[in-house]
Structure 1
Amino acid sequence: MLSVRRSAGAFVAVAIGVALVTAATLLLASGRPQVPDRLARAAVVVQSPEAGRADSFAPTRPWSAARATELAGRLAGLPGVAAAIPDRTFYAQPLVDGRPPASDGQREDAHQGHGWSSARLGGLRLTAGEPPRRPGEVVVDRALGLRPGTPVTLLTAAGPEPYTVTGLLDAPGVHVADDVAATLAPGVRAIGLMLAAGADPERVGAEARGVVGGDGRVLTGDRRGALEPRGDARTRWIGMQVLTATAALAGFVTVFVAASTFAFTVAQRRRELGLLRAVGATPRQIRRMVHREALTVGGAAGLAGLLVGAALTPALGRVLVDVGLEPATFRVRYVLWPLAASLAVGPVVALLAGWSAARRAARIPPLEALREAAVEQRPIGRLRVAAGALLLATGAALSLGTATSDDARDGATYALYAVMALVTGSTVLAPAIVGPAVRLLRSPVRRRGGAIGLLVRAGALTATRRTASTAAPVLLTVAFAVLVSGMVLTTTAAYTAGRADNVNAGWIIAPDRAPGLSDRAVAATGGTALLPTTVFVTEPEPSTGIRPLNALGVDPAGFAEANRVLDVVAGSLDDLRGDDTVALTASAAPAPGLPPEPYPVVFADGERVPLRVVAVVTDISVPGDLLLPRAVVRAYDPSALTSTVYVRDRVDPPLGARIIDVPAWAAEADRAEDRLVWLCTLLLIGVSAGYGAIAVANTLLLAAAGRAADLRLIRLAGATRRQVLWLVTAESALVVLIGAVLGGAVAFAGLLSIRAGLAEQVGATVDLVVPWPVIGAVVGLCLLLAVLASVLPTWRLLRHRPARSAVGIVAG
């Protein structure tokens, strides 16, 4: 009973789905944090206390210089420890021809400085020259093309500083004398332990935990991956979200497409299945037969998809690294559980897809074998109507959740689930929708379609299930493509407009090939600068622990003038002066109003400082959690870099800076993140559109093969080959039109809810950005494939002219 031709569509859909799931899960399993190269030789590393949630990517709370010295001394005295070396990191970027190298702005390690003793933690060795021993001496990467004894300018947080190269390393970054590093980075976040020969890292780690207690974490083995740079951790997290979404979408679309294919196959085999019922087959036997066919197809497709996915995973891993969805340290590893899980996906997906088709096949009456008419006698059942209505109601509820959400991440999640529910509900109810949709075209068809239009309309009304099955993949493709791209465009435009409206300035001074602006660059502009840093507070609830907060060092008067949305609800920003004052946002304040008690924070140098709260502002007033005098941030964070300077008039940008207008600055403020989001968008659109294309081609190829007798009869009735080809072309266009309209309606429902949610978040009207190019491209692709998949088999079928006798019989 199993036909290769009929099962080819389901086989291809399941195989591609399993291949995607295999690749995605293998990449997910490979995406564990990597030990930084600069700490690879330290078998045991003691890390300062964690702060924030696991996915906040906030730095750990640093130890003060005194506490780090004390810990290093006690750790160095442990049995098996040869040396305990504090690792200090600060900003230092070599200049080439007076400017930062073009590629350095994208490499975090290229603008990091360390003390020379930290080189031992990574096993670094000089390739030329000698170590730095005095202030003004530095060891640099030999890739810069410098020689020992030559001068080099390092761009630091203070500004350009002259240094002399004393040695070269085959690694990025710069190394200075330890005393200089202690001045530039007084706070310490890691202490590496170099072990004596034969020492057991786990035993040393256990003893080190007794020394550290609750004031840090002791990491050994692969657990040292927690020390990877925050930028790499964030990139890895984004990559994991993309891979998870791809695997989930692949699984959903695979079930969707395979179910549509199985349903279409069962519809084509109605007479065959009715004949089996007529000769005594029971409904249970029919269900078991369809289930066995689904298992056979799923098992074979799962094995094929597993092999293809495993073979393509290394290449996909390299692509993810190249486009920035995984850090440069990412390596593909073959793990057993993704392979086993992916192998099981094929049969499971096939069974889920074939379940509804098996139930429908078991209900085919025995007399169906005797019917010649192609008219579908039975409407969709009550259970199907109820299921479709429930799915539509669920989608509407999720859309309401999107519209009322005040969190962008939650809103996007609700929107995706809403479209999934609406797409599935629309597909379930599609046979009931096709009839009214086709009847709406009655007048245009009669006026312009002629006989071909009448046949197209009659065929769609006669076989509503077939029309719905072929329109379903188009619905899915258009809905997801329009939703994902429209969501990204609308969100980007809303945040860009909101960011630009909040600023009262003529121009923006932004970094150029550097992570930030130095103090000397800021002084040269004469504008209002934002100096960001991270501070830490201890929450009163023990379960909450240490909370990282984003602080901004500002000049209060200039900041108030440049900020259009500044709203002070308690106190006054005029009192933000001296070395012990702070202004909090409402969410960061411990209680409404000005708290009478001091507000203690831990700065980047590890020092705990009690501050007086002199003002409380609304959360949307500042792009952070609290405001500090700029001099306070600089005193406690020597490596902090200015992110933005607001200026009234155009000025010549200083070293390491560029000047742009406010709209351009607002548009590119999240350019790196927007680029990753667009890559994710294109990937998800590619998955859904690729599946949609396959499904459209498969279903129409099956439809063309199953209608061979009907098309020959039309040919014998006097229609020319060209007229028959126009007939199948018009039918394909109608199917694509119905699917595109339904998919567009579903997507626009999701986009409208997203727009409402964004308006709630930004507190302003948000324009809906419709991705017309994406709509045109996706609908055009579906139409092209639909026409080719129906016209080519028909053309092959009608290559030979009908026999004269047959024509004469029909004519008579």
Structure 2
Amino acid sequence: MGADVLTAGPAGRFRRAAAPHGGRFAAFWAVLTGTLLVTASLLLHASAGTRVPDRFAGTAAVVRSPDVTTAADPIPVPRPWSAEEATALTRRLAAVQGVTAAVPDHSFYAQPVRHGRAVPGLTEGQGWASAALAPYRLIAGTPPQREREVVVDRALGVPVGDGLTVLTATGASRWTVTGLVDAAALYVSDAEARRLAPGVRAIGLLGAPRLPAVNAVVGAAGTVVTGAERGTLEPRADTRLRWIGTQVLTAVSALAAFACVFVVAATFTFTVNQRRRELGLLRALGATPRQVRRTVYRDALRIGVPAAALGVLLGALVALPADDLLVDAGLEPAGFRVGLRIWPLLVGLTAGPIVALLGSGAAARRAARVRPLEALRTAEVEERAMSRTRWAAGLAATAGSGLAGIIAVTTENLSDLATAALLGAMALVVAATLLAPAVVPVLVRVLGRAIPGVLGTVVRGSARVAVRRTASTATPVLLTVTFAVFILGNVQTTTGAYAAAREAAVRAGAVLVPDGTPGLTDAAVAGTQGTVLLPTRVYVADTVLTAVGTDPDRLGAVASRLSVLSGSVAELAEPDTAAVRRSTAERFGWRVGTSTRMAFADGQLTPLRVVAVVADEGAPAELLLDRRMVRQRDPSALATAVLLPGPGPSATPPGAAVVDVATYAARADAEEDRLVWVFTLLLVGVSAGYGALAVVSTVALATVTRARDLRVLRHAGATRRQVLVVVAAESALAAAIGALLGGLAALLALLGSVGALREQAGAHVDLVVPWLTVAGIVVLCLTLAAAAGVVPARRVVVVSLSRPAAGP
């Protein structure tokens, strides 16, 4: 019969015969693809650990300043020691047995300029003492000893004794090259480094220090890292890049696992539904419900184990050469390499059988409930499309999506918002799949009218009678369309929402922005008649706050949405004052007149007095400060923008450019938006690829199991072409139902996301739906469904000519 058959043995046991090849093939590929994706993404994830920076490669140990965190940023920030604290700690560390040198690392912004352009990728300088931590050695010239002397990478092509323009936070100036090193580095005299970076975040130890003694000296003042732990000293930009890459790989793994369970469950459910009569015969022969369940589970393991083994092998082959692709895409920093790890392979090997068992669980329970009397039924009509359990599960999934929407609207964390929105979309997919049989008859009547004539009547009648089959065929299309529409629409809506909010918050004729540099220097903003935004970080206890230094007398003219709730922003011109956002003031219990000790980049604690509380909407940071104070306390701070009242100067200094407000709003997070778009394409590629595979396998399986119906139709007088048209039309109709349900689920999820974004951005948010992409995906699904139905149907039709018509 081509189905699982349990035959009675001498001991009264039932043994398993071969399962349908179509169902096994579809489930095998679903498990294999999911295992491949999970294994590959986990291997990439496991290889994405931190890498020890070259400039700390020569250290035996490094003492890091304490980490502080903020709810808005998952990446910890080291709170710097003041110059006095660093000097005292360095002196004590140098006295530890085995330490030959303790070197405080002073890092600051410095960027060479060649041929009128800032050199990309080289934006940090250190004092010459830090060269011993790499260790780098001079290959020509002498170390820098005086002001405006510098040692640089010989790859810049500047000989010893020549001048080199270097950008620092104050502007461009001419420096004398006294030496060359064979590394991408820039070193100045130690005295100059201490002036440019008075705060210290790391002290490198050379020699063979006794770590217990080092830990005893450091105590709670910092953290001692050795070996691979020194990777935590990598540049913050690399850490953020790795974090984004980790989010991408984690989401791909989760989506692959979800899609795999989803497709396998649909495949097994479909297979069991088609075998209802045979399972009833088995029950009539004496098989117990437990034996039937065990049969389905055994079949799942026979599929899952070999599929997982092959998936793990292919996943490793896919992951190993992918490191350069991730680096080129900007999802991992330079130097990222993929290596084999045991635990991702074990997870992949385990995931295949587990996914197969999870996917077959509902099918096994349904198989066990088949009554022996069903074996006597000959009609293929399904008596009840929706069971009570299915109704309950579908409504529960709907409620879960609503709960995810509430969480998305109420959360203040953008990462939690994205997670809640994605979980809500997943819940809607489950709900739409479970509740689909309840609406299939209505949708068949509405959509089926597009198929004219007698063939249309046959197609509509077949789809209405076999509701479960139609719903199961529509499931992979529903999955594909939902995730593609939701992910693409959510990203584009989010990007546009925050760009619009930034644009609405600015009242300016033009904006001066960095061009090829991480920020604007003092020289670049000098003489402009606009409002400068000079960002920095402020440390309060174990928390870091974002802060912006600005010009209080000009801020009101350009910040169109800045609302002062109490106090006066004009008082920022007074020494040691700050204006705070309302949410920040409520978190710390601050009000106008409160004085709190805060630390800046120089590590010095200073009492700041709150002179104003402003609304969250329109405030560029948690704290607003006077720009002169920020420059004094953070010598390497760079301005992010200058909001100009007019069109701006015709000539701009090196490292700066003038753009309109809309361009400024769009460019504010351009790099992160690019990474998010790469992330989006990966997710859509995974979901669409998996969905396409599921569409083909499910439709092909459905067609094969209907071989008797097609032969009957053929012998009833239908031509070969008419039979194939019926199959193609019914497959396309099921795909259209899936696309419609998936589109509705995605739109509901997007509407919830839009509501959350309006709360987060505090501005009007337009729903952006990528209609062209949606149309392309729907057409692809319809085409694949029709082709997947026609190809096996052709063989069935040809074979039917040499066989007598099967009886009912």
Give TM-score, length-normalised by structure 1: 0.93
Could you list the per-position Cα deviations for residues 557-588 of structure 1 after superposition, in whole angstroms to 9, with x for gaps in the alignment?
A: 11111101112222212222243222222233
Name the stretch that deviates more: 28-37 or 677-686. 28-37
Q: Which residue of 2 aligns with 1:35?
A: 52
| Distance of aligned partners of 1:400 and 1:62 in 2 relative to their CA distance in 1, 3 Å threshold | closer
Contact 1:137/1:177 (CA < 8 Å) preserved in 2? yes
C-alpha distance in 2 between matches for 1:120 and 1:34: 19
- Displacement after TM superposition at 1:291 (Å): 0.7
Please list, as runs of the form range in 1=range in 2, the aligned pairs for 1:106-145 lying within 5 A after superposition. Answer: 107=121, 110-145=122-157
C-alpha distance in 1 between matches for 2:709 and 2:240: 59
| Distance of aligned partners of 1:728 and 1:119 in 2 relative to their CA distance in 1, 3 Å threshold | same
- Displacement after TM superposition at 1:307 (Å): 0.9
Q: Which residue of 2 aligns with 1:543?
A: none
Does residue 725 of structure 1 match 2:731? no
Contact 1:513/1:656 (CA < 8 Å) preserved in 2? yes
Does residue 509 of structure 1 match 2:500? no
Q: Which residue of 2 aligns with 1:297?
A: 303
Q: Which residue of 2 aligns with 1:234?
A: 240
Could you list the per-position Cα deviations for residues 5-35 of structure 1 after superposition, in whole angstroms to 9, with x for gaps in the alignment?
A: 3301101110111111112222222222222
1:468 partner amino acid: A
| Distance of aligned partners of 1:68 and 1:400 in 2 relative to their CA distance in 1, 3 Å threshold | closer
Please list, as runs of the form range in 1=range in 2, the aligned pairs for 1:552-563 lying within 5 A after superposition. Answer: 552-563=548-559
Q: Which residue of 1 aligns with 2:589?
A: 591
Contact 2:70/2:544 (CA < 8 Å) preserved in 1? no
Does residue 772 of structure 1 match 2:768? no
| Structure 1 runs, 4 residues or longer, greater than 6 Å off | none
- Displacement after TM superposition at 1:806 (Å): 6.7
C-alpha distance in 2 between matches for 1:287 and 1:616: 65
Q: Which residue of 2 aligns with 1:391?
A: 397
5+ unaligned residues in a row in structure 1: which ranges?
A: 539-545
Could you list the per-position Cα deviations for residues 348-392 of structure 1 after superposition, in whole angstroms to 9, with x for gaps in the alignment?
A: 110111111112222233344444332223443212222222222
| Distance of aligned partners of 1:700 and 1:175 in 2 relative to their CA distance in 1, 3 Å threshold | same
Name the stretch that deviates more: 216-225 or 181-190. 216-225
Name the stretch that deviates more: 501-510 or 368-377. 368-377
Q: Which residue of 1 aligns with 2:685?
A: 686
Does residue 68 of structure 1 match 2:86? yes
SS, match of residue 77 in structure 2? coil
Does residue 573 of structure 1 match 2:569? yes
Q: Which residue of 2 aligns with 1:9?
A: 26
| Distance of aligned partners of 1:440 and 1:403 in 2 relative to their CA distance in 1, 3 Å threshold | farther
Contact 2:30/2:694 (CA < 8 Å) preserved in 1? yes
SS, match of residue 561 in structure 2? coil
Match of 2:353 among 347, 350, 353: 347
1:8 partner amino acid: F
Q: Which residue of 1 aligns with 2:5?
A: none
2:591 partner amino acid: G
Could you list the per-position Cα deviations for residues 416-435 of structure 1 after superposition, in whole angstroms to 9, with x for gaps in the alignment?
A: 11221221122122222212
Contact 2:22/2:704 (CA < 8 Å) preserved in 1? no
Does residue 154 of structure 1 match 2:152? no
C-alpha distance in 1 between matches for 2:509 and 2:126: 38
Q: Which residue of 1 aligns with 2:118?
A: 100
Q: Which residue of 1 aligns with 2:438?
A: 432
C-alpha distance in 1 between matches for 2:292 and 2:100: 74
SS, match of residue 213 in structure 1? helix
Give TM-score, length-normalised by structure 2: 0.94
Q: Which residue of 2 aligns with 1:647?
A: 644
C-alpha distance in 1 between matches for 2:589 and 2:702: 68
2:25 partner amino acid: A
SS, match of residue 620 in structure 1? coil
1:154 partner amino acid: V
1:79 partner amino acid: Q
SS, match of residue 59 in structure 1? strand
Contact 1:406/1:757 (CA < 8 Å) preserved in 2? no
| Distance of aligned partners of 1:705 and 1:806 in 2 relative to their CA distance in 1, 3 Å threshold | closer
2:98 partner amino acid: G
C-alpha distance in 1 between matches for 2:609 and 2:280: 84
- Give the share of equivalent positions with the same residue, in percent: 52
Could you list the per-position Cα deviations for residues 699-721 of structure 1 after superposition, in whole angstroms to 9, with x for gaps in the alignment?
A: 11112222223223222222222
Name the stretch that deviates more: 556-565 or 359-368. 359-368
SS, match of residue 690 in structure 1? helix
- Displacement after TM superposition at 1:406 (Å): 4.4
C-alpha distance in 2 between matches for 1:712 and 1:31: 56
Q: Which residue of 2 aligns with 1:263?
A: 269
- Displacement after TM superposition at 1:722 (Å): 2.0
- Displacement after TM superposition at 1:619 (Å): 2.2
SS, match of residue 12 in structure 1? helix
SS, match of residue 51 in structure 1? strand
C-alpha distance in 2 between matches for 1:610 and 1:193: 33
Name the stretch that deviates more: 678-687 or 606-615. 606-615
Match of 1:193 among 205, 208, 211: 205
Match of 1:79 among 72, 83, 97: 97
Q: Which residue of 2 aligns with 1:483?
A: 486
Q: Which residue of 2 aligns with 1:741?
A: 740
SS, match of residue 67 in structure 2? coil
2:699 partner amino acid: L
Q: Which residue of 2 aligns with 1:319?
A: 325
C-alpha distance in 1 between matches for 2:546 and 2:257: 39
C-alpha distance in 1 between matches for 2:410 and 2:283: 53
| Distance of aligned partners of 1:282 and 1:57 in 2 relative to their CA distance in 1, 3 Å threshold | closer
Q: Which residue of 2 aligns with 1:278?
A: 284
Could you list the per-position Cα deviations for residues 677-698 of structure 1 after superposition, in whole angstroms to 9, with x for gaps in the alignment?
A: 1111111111111111111100
C-alpha distance in 2 between matches for 1:57 and 1:524: 36
| Distance of aligned partners of 1:725 and 1:269 in 2 relative to their CA distance in 1, 3 Å threshold | same
Contact 2:322/2:338 (CA < 8 Å) preserved in 1? no
SS, match of residue 525 in structure 1? coil
- Displacement after TM superposition at 1:152 (Å): 0.8
C-alpha distance in 2 between matches for 1:307 and 1:119: 44
C-alpha distance in 1 between matches for 2:381 and 2:300: 27
Please list, as runs of the form range in 1=range in 2, the aligned pairs for 1:152-231 lying within 5 A after superposition. Answer: 152-195=164-207, 199=208, 201=209, 204-231=210-237
Q: Which residue of 2 aligns with 1:542?
A: none
Q: Which residue of 2 aligns with 1:452?
A: 455
SS, match of residue 370 in structure 2? coil
SS, match of residue 63 in structure 2? strand
C-alpha distance in 2 between matches for 1:462 and 1:330: 56
1:386 partner amino acid: A
Contact 1:205/1:219 (CA < 8 Å) preserved in 2? no
1:182 partner amino acid: R
Does residue 495 of structure 1 match 2:492? no
Does residue 21 of structure 1 match 2:38? yes
| Distance of aligned partners of 1:5 and 1:736 in 2 relative to their CA distance in 1, 3 Å threshold | closer
Contact 2:572/2:626 (CA < 8 Å) preserved in 1? yes
2:177 partner amino acid: V
SS, match of residue 325 in structure 2? helix
C-alpha distance in 2 between matches for 1:294 and 1:722: 37
Could you list the per-position Cα deviations for residues 317-349 of structure 1 after superposition, in whole angstroms to 9, with x for gaps in the alignment?
A: 332222112222323232222222221111111
Q: Which residue of 1 aligns with 2:749?
A: 750
- Displacement after TM superposition at 1:458 (Å): 0.7
C-alpha distance in 1 between matches for 2:275 and 2:294: 16
Q: Which residue of 1 aligns with 2:424?
A: 418
Could you list the per-position Cα deviations for residues 445-474 of structure 1 after superposition, in whole angstroms to 9, with x for gaps in the alignment?
A: 5xx511110011011011111111110111
Could you list the per-position Cα deviations for residues 71-91 of structure 1 after superposition, in whole angstroms to 9, with x for gaps in the alignment?
A: 212211111011111111111
Q: Which residue of 1 aligns with 2:630?
A: 633
Name the stretch that deviates more: 16-25 or 270-279. 270-279
C-alpha distance in 1 between matches for 2:646 and 2:294: 78
Could you list the per-position Cα deviations for residues 94-139 of structure 1 after superposition, in whole angstroms to 9, with x for gaps in the alignment?
A: 10112113xx1xx3xx110011111110111223333222222211
- Displacement after TM superposition at 1:268 (Å): 2.5
